[in-house]
Structure 1
Amino acid sequence: MKITFGGKEVTLIGSELKVGDALPEFNLTTMELGNFSSKDVKLPAILLTIPSVDTSVCSLELLTFNDR
């Protein structure tokens, strides 16, 4: 899947998730620099990823999510 990020086209690895897909295994770094993995998710859950709140699109997505 190709997207535009920072004005440049980039290719994302993996495939796009759809509603009902199984949660893939992942490892993330929290804002406190701790570890968070798919094993830490308590289902049901809504996971939202924001690459950078310094961009207008990501900032708008976060504000829209909070409003809903």
Structure 2
Amino acid sequence: MAALAARPGRVFSRDQLLSLAFPDDAEVLDRTIDSHVRNIRRKIHLTTDWDPIRSVYGVGYAYED
């Protein structure tokens, strides 16, 4: 979330987000990012209807103000 929020509007691929979240080259699947985004969205929706994370089909995710 920090990487997305630091560059609003920029689309990050799953691989880019993985390398930012796990810089030690841990063996993590790219679908892990999808799970984390889903959990972040769920937590945000507990308090508001706002969804700051935009999914870009076939590419990745972006943060929208």
**What interval of TM-score do these two structures reach, taking the shorter chain for normalisation?**
under 0.3
The structure richer in helix per residue is 2
The structure richer in strand per residue is 1
Query: Structure 2-normalised TM-score?
Result: 0.22
- Looking at both structures, which has the greater relative contact order when contacts are Cα pairs under 8 Å and sequence separation is at least 6? 2
Query: Structure 1-normalised TM-score?
Result: 0.22
- Structure of higher CA gyration radius: 1
